[in-house]
Amino acid sequence: GGGLSRIAAAAAGTSDIFRISLLWPIVERLEELSGRSYDDETMAMRVIADHLCGATFLAVDGVRPANKAHGYVLRRLVRRAVRFALDLGLEDDLAVLLVPTVAAVYERAHPEVTEHVEDVVAVLSREERAFRRTLRRGISHLAEYRETGVTGAELFVLHDTYGFPVELSTEEARRSGIAVSDTWRAEFDAHMEAQRARSQQARPRPPGPADERPH
């Protein structure tokens, strides 16, 4: 029940699971790339190390970024890692820079990561590049609500028009000191449901008996 990482941390004499041998080399690589220390950027480096590891193994298993099921988990991991990388000044090539380190760490226990490292980098890099464009637009538009706060309706616009995931919108708003409506989730869901209803109404109706005409 303690978790393998926590047991390993205890065995290594630390309460920080990110200082164990499976994660610390990734943190050290982040320190090297960013020129910043783990002590000063603890949260960002933890998120990136954890999420890039998870994303790497999902990609090795054949999962690809998508909007549902395991593909959505992979997409969310990559996107959140990219957002925190921005805080470290790492503005591109996160997968290129870190996946080989993940592969090296797990080379003995999971040689399949090394075997598929180029494919994994390609998969994660495509998602990363696409999201960086979305991220810049989303952050820019979210900043417009700094004084007024943001509601579920505005979060829907960010999602629908600019492709900014609602979970990242709310997280980014709170990180930036932008107030988020207490009822944002219900408002956002209502707009999503209305959009689905409009989409269904716009679909062509298959012909039925009433549509048949005598020849």
Kindly tell me if the per-residue pLDDT of 17 is higher than 90: no
Segment 121-146 shows an average pLDDT of 91
User: Among 102, 9, 114, 11, which Cα is nearest to 48's?
Assistant: 102
Q: Side chain identity at 71, as an amino acid letter?
A: G
pLDDT tens for 73-84 read: 999 999 999 999
pLDDT higher for 23 or 12?
Answer: 23
User: d(Cα 187, Cα 192) in Å, to the nearest integer?
Assistant: 9
For residue 94, pLDDT over 90 is answered with yes
**Pick from 187, 192, 169: nearest CA to 179:** 169
Q: What is the pLDDT confidence band of residue 2, given thresholds at 50, 70 and 90?
A: very low
Q: List the chain domain ranges.
A: 1-131, 146-203
49 CB-contact burial (10 Å; exposed 0-12 / middle 13-18 / buried 19+): buried
The answer, yes or no, to whether residue 210 has pLDDT greater than 70, is no
- pTM attached to this predicted model: 0.78
